């Protein structure tokens, strides 16, 4: 399963960003960045989970559908390749997209909250 590779890398990313968030709190010039990093970390978690749930469902949906409908032989063999590709390669892409989008949205939320409360 690809998650044996993905989850340790994800855990290291969270640990590294957490250390960076704590370290930036002690440097006056970059202290505001700490909040953005923490917001990004908090956004990465649901982004990672949601993206991987979507990919898993997209990979399993054809399997569930094939139990209800009889498919031609050529389509069944093509579906097997599709399902294998989605379930083996999809989590890598989904994890990357989920982490990047989640981090960006988390940092954006922090930016908007700071801008709203600064006024």
In this predicted model, what pLDDT tens digit does every residue of 62-81 receive, in sequence order? 889 888 888 888 988 998 99
Q: What is the pLDDT of residue 48?
A: 97
- The pTM assigned to this predicted structure is 0.86
Percent of the chain with pLDDT over 70: 99
Q: Which residues form the domain of 95?
A: 3-118
Q: What is the pLDDT of residue 118?
A: 75
Q: What is the pLDDT of residue 71?
A: 82
Instruction: With a cut of 90, say whether residue 117 has pLDDT above it.
Output: no
Q: What is the pLDDT of residue 69?
A: 87
User: 66 with 79: CB under 8 angstroms?
Assistant: yes
The mean per-residue pLDDT over the stretch 47-62 comes to: 94
Q: What is the pLDDT of residue 119?
A: 64
89 CB-near residues (< 8 Å, 6+ apart): 2
Digit-coded pLDDT (tens) for 9-34 = 999 999 999 999 999 999 999 999 99
Domain count, the chain: 1
Mean pLDDT score of the chain, rounded to an integer?
A: 93
Q: In Å, what is the CA distance from 111 to each residue of 14, 16, 30, 108, 114?
A: 20, 21, 15, 5, 5
Q: Report the distance separating Cα 73 and Cα 71, nearest Å.
A: 6
């Amino acid at each position: 399963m690809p998650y044996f590779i993905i989850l340790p890398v994800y855990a290291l990313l969270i640990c590294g960003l957490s250390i960076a968030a704590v370290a930036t709190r002690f440097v006056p010039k970059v202290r505001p960045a700490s909040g953005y990093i923490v917001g990004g970390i908090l956004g990465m978690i649901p982004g990672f989970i949601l993206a991987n749930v979507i990919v898993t469902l997209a990979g399993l949906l054809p399997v569930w559908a094939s139990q209800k409908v009889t498919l031609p032989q050529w389509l069944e063999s093509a579906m097997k390749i599709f399902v294998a590709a989605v379930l083996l390669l999809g989590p890598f892409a989904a994890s990357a997209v989920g982490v990047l989008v989640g981090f960006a949205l988390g940092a954006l939320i922090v930016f908007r909250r700071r801008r709203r409360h600064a006024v």
